[in-house]
A and B are shown apart, each in its own frame.
Chain A
Amino acid sequence: MTALPNPPVLQERGQREVFCGLTGIIWLHRKIQDAFFLVVGSRTCAHLIQSAAGVMIFAEPRFATAIIEERDLAGMADMNEELDKAVTRLLERRPDIRLLFLVGSCPSEVIKLDLSRAALRLSRDHSPRVRILSYSGSGIETTFTQGEDACLASLVSELPASEDRSLLVVGALADVVEDQFKRIFDDLGIGPVHFLPPRRAADLPGIGPGTSFLLAQPFLAETARLLEQRGAIRLSAPFPLGAEGTTAWLKAAASAWNVEPERFERVVSPCRERSRAALARFRSDLAGKRVFFFPDSQLEIPIARFLATELSMQLIEVGTPYLHRAHLAEELALLPPGTQLSEGQHVERQLDRCRAAQPDITVCGLGLANPLEAEGLTTKWSIELLFTPIHGYEQASDLAGLFARPLRRSLSLVA
């Protein structure tokens, strides 16, 4: 085994201005269309999700909260019976649900309500119509995108066993991006290719020792671990962000499938050239600009690598909520030497560093974005990086555009 790159990382503890894993529901409910997410938690949990998603008007909401009440805590009500009642009521109202996730929260974890047993019990009662799984999206255990990791990890044991040789792409991607990758893999003769999560609950891919998997997202530590436990092999690669990141990511699969280098070049280079050309037009906006990342999603390091290596931006600090050194090894090797990384957060001190550095663009959450704008700093709100197709060749310029737009805007607006 080769030594992992070991760049200096500033470890910080203090107030963390980040989302909890429940937030993953906001995009997962769109990706898996026949799934429903039932949070078992407090009014705070319910309020979090509706504050984020409630600006859309839902005729049929695809998430809800079973709110723990005083009588549940006082033991006056049997919490398992109460949960069963809530689930039954929900399934009566929504007969179209095929997959139900019971999502744990801080309160349910602290009082040690066993949702995995509840999921088993309820699955028995409601099978075969509805499959019921559980995972934790609590803030004490998960940060933002780790909610997706926990959700996908809960799906791993449900995947049917298969001995066949196949490629699994792991991580929720925009539908259009999935289709692009599928076409490229087809042209390379790599396949069959499956995606986790699937678009419908019934389409779970098979898995076994013949499965190789590529992580499309950097925040899938637990999912990867469980996939490996079932015999699947992880293909190490940087993440498919930017023209070069995407090429290296595809290359990892191509090597595993022994694709001839000429064939790889023939298939990939038109896309790569097109992507490079589209990116070139952003260079005048972005080259030399200084960027500061607050921790949010674990996408910070791959995106910083892309901005530095493909658009010549300068990295002041790259914060990440959690650094998985093995999964990020290829990324870390590509970062400009001496890049200041930070893991964890003390938000006030980090704000002090950010203000002192006066970056050209600051990547941060929505709790900080407008306040920093009001102080005269240009910001890019980070959650949009999860809600926009940014992976693959055709989206590389969109990803660059996400950073160019606030800069162009601040230049074009009259004070």
Chain B
Amino acid sequence: MQLTLWTYEAPPHVGAMRIATAMEGVHYVLHAPQGDTYADLLFTMIERRPKRPPVTYTTFQARDLGGDTAELFKTAVAEAYERFQPQAILVGASCTAELIQDDPGGLAQALNLPVPVIPLELPAYQKKENWGAAETFYRLVRALADPACPRHTGSRPRCNLLGPTALGFRHRDDITEITGLLDRIGIDIGVVAPMGACPADLARLGEADFNIVLYPEIANTAAQWLQKTFRQPTVKTVPIGVGATRDFIAEVADVAGIEVPAELVAGSSRLPWYSHSVDSTYLTGKRVFIFGDASHAIAAARIAHAELGFKVVGLGTYSREMAREVRDAATHYGIEALITDDYLEVESRVSELQPDLVLGTQMERHIAKRLGIPCAVISAPVHVQDFPARYSPQMGFEGANVIFDAWVHPLMMGLEEHLLAMFRDDFEFHGEAAPSHLGHPVSVSPVVPETVAEVADSDDTDWAPDAERELRKIPFFVRGKARRNTERFAREQGIARITIETLYHAKAHFSSQH
């Protein structure tokens, strides 16, 4: 039993959902108890998708356990097929259904549906989300890729882009960035999968000359099988960072047998100049702790070290499948890698190292808040704010621009840092205060600025003490407005002393106008 305050990865069936939701024409029937439909919210709220995920849940309850849950599952599969008419069906179990052992694969096969039915064995008590996604993608590719598919006949080299999924950190924009980059160097895209692909697209994976694995955690297994089956070489460099993007272009050019004009490579990102400019001098040697999935962590360490001039003091990952790669990278920076999915272990390492900056996941934000350390997000798991409306790739040359801004932003600006070192006891700028360009004093007690602001806004209306106390019960971010409204109401009504009654009269008066 593992004490878990936060978990880096979801259970493996959520990985399978990420594949099904990324694709078109695939439906997933999941044997799961009532309540597991919470996972729909990951897609409709966190990723803000306008469609329900293509997932049917059996949502069994305690009273069903005495009866025939297997029959419940068969009905769910039959109804899902009839209603959604998918081109392929995935079937599997969540953690609780795994315990009752109904054999979703066998039950679904027995229905003899006229489309491929792909059973998923995802051991929920051993494996996790990324493994689940990788396994599901591999099973789909194995089942659907047409072994007789002929190579394409176009003149330009053609590749598949493998790995982008639903709920992937910046996958949407990474695809755009890399597709544009490949087009500029003269390479066509065959299939992008799983994101946006349908079963028919997977059937023609064999048309391409080679495969590019953008997200190894998800696509490595499938790419290895394609390499064996279709003799398609795999491009493995993950193009995050300027240096890595240049290496990626070189590897692609080599595999595709083409020449890439030098001007396409040089000067394509602003990061090198921004990082060279004198304003960035104070970034030199900033001690940085990096944690995330393996590919984003490794890429971040290289950027931090070679492109921003930080000192990498900690590097780790929760991706056990790629522990070796992270260990190798850590050796390069003279440190020992932290391979763990235990949030408390990460917290104690950060606390021990006291870095100047944490580059991590949504979970490291909690750690950084506790320890008062600036933090930027480089990897899943992430929350809604990291599925932004604006174009925000991590990959390619524009990705490097995005990264420069995102990582430098939380740090104290140079001048402020200097002045702090000279004058320590300023009432506004002091050691406990957050960087002032972040706009709000996060680490001081919220009472201080609030009182100042409220006194400044308030006229000399008389507040009864209990009304004042009642006002304090209103959340601080709307309290100022409530105070102003109540005072305005009191003036208009000629009320001299504001009581609790006045406060609520005013609230009732203004409540329909917000």
Contact = CB atoms under 8 A, between A and B. Distances in A.
B129 to A, nearest CB: 8
B228 interface: no
A83 B511 contact: no
Given A22-B35, A82-B1, A281 B512 contact: yes
Given A82-B1, A274-B504, A373 B50 contact: yes
B61 A141 contact: yes
A295 to B, nearest CB: 11
A117 B128 CA distance: 30
Interface in A62-86: 64-70, 72-73, 77, 79, 82-83, 85-86
State which size class the interface on A falls in: 35 or more
A60 B5 CA distance: 10
Contacts of A260: none
A404 B64 CA distance: 40
A365 B5 CA distance: 26
A44 B10 contact: yes
B41 A51 contact: yes
Which one of A44, A138, A367 has the highest number of Cβ atoms from chain B below 10 Å of its Cβ? A44
Nearest to A398: B511
A370 B49 contact: yes
Given A66-B3, A109-B62, A397-B508, A54 B362 contact: yes
Interface in B366-418: 366, 369-370, 381, 383-385
B79 interface: yes
B474 interface: yes
Interface in A1-56: 15-23, 40, 42-44, 46-48, 50-52, 54-55
B149 interface: no
Interface string B80-106: 000100000000001110011000000
A374 interface: yes
Interface in B27-85: 33-38, 40-42, 44-46, 48-52, 56-62, 64-65, 76, 79, 83
State which size class the interface on B falls in: 35 or more
Interface string B327-351: 0000000000000000010000000
A57 B38 contact: no
A348 interface: yes
B50 A366 contact: no
Nearest to A274: B508
Contact of A42 (B11, B42, B50, B511): B11
Contacts of A175: 473
B38 A42 contact: no
B358 to A, nearest CB: 12
A61 B3 CA distance: 13
A90 B61 CA distance: 31
Contact of A52 (B3, B38, B500): B38
Given A15-B59, A66-B3, A43 B35 contact: no
Given A15-B57, A348-B79, A50 B37 contact: no
B153 interface: no
B277 to A, nearest CB: 32
B512 A89 contact: no
B504 A139 contact: no
Interface in B489-514: 500-501, 504-505, 507-509, 511-512, 514
Nearest to B34: A139
Contacts of A61: 5-6, 366
Contacts of A57: 365-366, 369
Contacts of B10: 43-44, 47
B61 A140 contact: yes
B1 A72 contact: yes
A47 B7 contact: yes
Contact of A59 (B6, B64, B96, B370): B370
A275 interface: yes
B33 A85 contact: no
B2 interface: yes
Interface in A83-122: 83, 85-86, 89-90, 93, 106-107, 109-111
B6 A54 contact: yes
Interface string A242-284: 0000000000000000000000000000100011011001100
Given A93-B344, A110-B100, A278-B511, A83 B1 contact: yes
B14 interface: yes
A20 B34 contact: yes
B9 interface: yes
B35 A139 contact: yes
B125 interface: yes
Given A57-B369, A277-B508, A281-B512, A371 B34 contact: no
A67 B35 contact: no
A47 B362 contact: no
A143 interface: yes
Contacts of B383: 54-55
Nearest to A136: B62
Nearest to B83: A348
B1 A67 contact: yes
Contact of B5 (A17, A64, A367): A64
B99 A107 contact: yes
B50 A374 contact: yes
B365 A107 contact: no
Contacts of B46: 51
Contacts of A22: 35
Contacts of A401: 511-512, 514
B126 interface: yes
Contacts of A82: 1
Contacts of B128: 43
A182 to B, nearest CB: 12
Given A72-B125, A83-B1, A401-B514, 20 more contacts: A15-B59, A19-B38, A20-B33, A42-B125, A44-B96, A57-B366, A64-B3, A70-B123, A107-B95, A139-B35, A139-B96, A140-B34, A175-B473, A176-B470, A179-B473, A282-B512, A367-B41, A368-B52, A401-B512, A404-B512
The 5 closest A-B pairs by CB, nearest first: A20-B35, A139-B35, A367-B40, A374-B50, A281-B512
25 contacts: A15-B56, A15-B59, A16-B34, A19-B35, A22-B35, A42-B96, A42-B125, A44-B36, A44-B94, A46-B6, A46-B7, A51-B38, A54-B6, A61-B5, A61-B6, A64-B3, A90-B3, A110-B65, A139-B59, A179-B473, A348-B79, A373-B50, A374-B51, A397-B508, A398-B511
Interface of A: 15-23, 40, 42-44, 46-48, 50-52, 54-55, 57-61, 64-70, 72-73, 77, 79, 82-83, 85-86, 89-90, 93, 106-107, 109-111, 138-141, 143, 175-176, 179, 183, 270, 274-275, 277-278, 281-282, 348, 365-371, 373-374, 394, 397-398, 401, 404
